[in-house]
Amino acid sequence: MPDVTTDITVARDQAADVRFLDDFAALSAFGATPAGGVERQAATAEDGQTRAWLAAWLAERGFTVVNDKVGNQFGLFEFRPGAPYVLAGSHMDSQPRGGRFDGAYGVLAAAHAADRLRTHLADQPADAQPQFNIAVVNWFNEEGCRFKPSMMGSGVFTGKLALQKALDTTDVDGVTVQEALEGLGELGAEDVFGGGREVASYAEIHIEQGRELDKTGTTLGLVDSTWAANKYEIAVIGAQAHTGATAMEDRHDALYGAALAVVAVRELADRFGEELHTSCGQLTVVPNSPVVVAREVHMHLDLRSPSDELLAEADALLRKQFAEIEVKAGVEIERRFAHTWKGQLYQPGGVELSGAVADDLGVSRMLVQTRAGHDSTNMKDMVPTVMLFIPSVEGISHAEAEFTADEDLCTGVDVLTETLARMVRGALT
């Protein structure tokens, strides 16, 4: 790590905390649900409202707001014209009846941190300006519920997903990403980065969505690795029949086959213990009539592990079990990978930098893994990256009851501010 001047002076003060919490409350009103969550799936009207609000917030403070061709929303601020950017952010889209912290906290924290840097450096002479500029990002469609796959915006940005494929993706009503973004006026015409404007490094802060920090009473998680994930699209093919009249032995019940698969997937996790998470969250029955044996079931399976080897072993077992289910239920099971990523390390330099910041600010910290994918999972393969977690009470996430205390929210903004202050001065590059 280069030797850099720290900027402890940009850290926390009470007025900054109040401003942040006020803004977070304002942001949480878009798509608010009665039980304290938000529902603003990608490129819906509610997502559009949060994007408009963020654009106005950034523009008022002198950031140049520009969207790229897949709807990633950037707020750019130059300290040194033409220099590369330190990028910070997360996503503002949510799950159906999701929590108000997941993603949105990270974008707002980045916006506030960048603005504190801007304010702090405004009075400095030109030769005291940092070597990198700062940019805030709101990645498009991190959640992947309305449009699959997840982490779509950062996937296109990092070249892992083709732009046109992303734009052509449809929701259940057949609306494409392109149509939805154009409808909101949120589809940009340029690439924003590349072609002269470069990203030097990336930082993201997010609620943990697990309970390690909450359980141990630690304020900051330094993410040093990400779990591997296998996501599958499964089709179970049976034959339509009468639920009452058709003899049991004559049935090819796609839903029975699917239910056996859901149980098998869950039992895989029981078998491997804490090192494997498995789930089926999406399952659609065709024709879904009370008196018709289902002819097809479509489902989405999600297997995650810190170990690529264990995941491969689970995959092989699942394949074997599906073959048995095909015989038992008299159905055919088609499976294909929808999205996979290997378990990977975050750059040790990012862990070291944010650890030093935490120590300097007197914030308790520990190393953590991320089981969930984040936009930083993509970004870390492109530029040096810092990924930070703050506690999520009882690990609740993707649910309205998701909660993080104000104190932790504000401490997180401080740590991010100081981390970015060091990054624009060359730390991590």
Footprint on residues 403-422 left by a second copy (CB under 8 A) = none
* CB-nearer residue toward a second copy: 111 or 269: 269
Tell me the one-letter amino acid at 377: T
* CB-nearer residue toward a second copy: 163 or 280: 280
Using CA atoms, how far apart are residues 374 and 158, in angstroms rounded to an integer? 13
Dihedral-angle region of residue 89 (phi above 0 means left; psi in -120 to 50 means alpha; beta otherwise): left
Footprint on residues 126-185 left by a second copy (CB under 8 A) = 143-145, 148, 150
Nearest CA to 393 among 174, 261, 208? 208
- Residue in 218, 278, 376, 404 binding a second copy, rule: CB under 8 A: 278
- Residue in 69, 100, 197, 295 binding a second copy, rule: CB under 8 A: 295
**Stretch near a second copy under the rule CB under 8 A, chosen from 152-160, 216-224, 277-285, 350-358:** 277-285
**Stretch near a second copy under the rule CB under 8 A, chosen from 62-70, 105-113, 288-296, 350-358:** 288-296
Instruction: Please report where in the chains the tokens 């390390």 appear, as a residue.
Output: 345
Site string for a second copy, 241-260 (x = CB under 8 A): xxxxxxxx-xx-x-xx-xxx
- Residue in 289, 340, 344, 364 binding a second copy, rule: CB under 8 A: 289
Q: Are 220 and 415 in contact (CB under 8 A)?
A: yes
The edge-to-edge listing of strands for the beta sheet with 228-237 is 277-286, 296-305, 228-237, 332-341
Using CA atoms, how far apart are residues 233 and 296, in angstroms rounded to an integer? 13
Interaction between residue 317 and a second copy (CB under 8 A)? no
**195 φ, ψ to 5°?**
65, 45
Distances in whole angstroms, Cα of residue 12 to Cα of each of 15, 104, 227, 354: 9, 20, 33, 16
* CB-nearer residue toward a second copy: 37 or 384: 37
Interaction between residue 334 and a second copy (CB under 8 A)? no
Site string for a second copy, 200-229 (x = CB under 8 A): --------xxxx---------------x-x
* CB-nearer residue toward a second copy: 58 or 207: 207
Using CA atoms, how far apart are residues 289 and 287, in angstroms rounded to an integer? 6
Footprint on residues 342-401 left by a second copy (CB under 8 A) = 370-373, 394-401
Instruction: Please report where in the chains the tokens 């009468």 appear, as a residue.
Output: 242
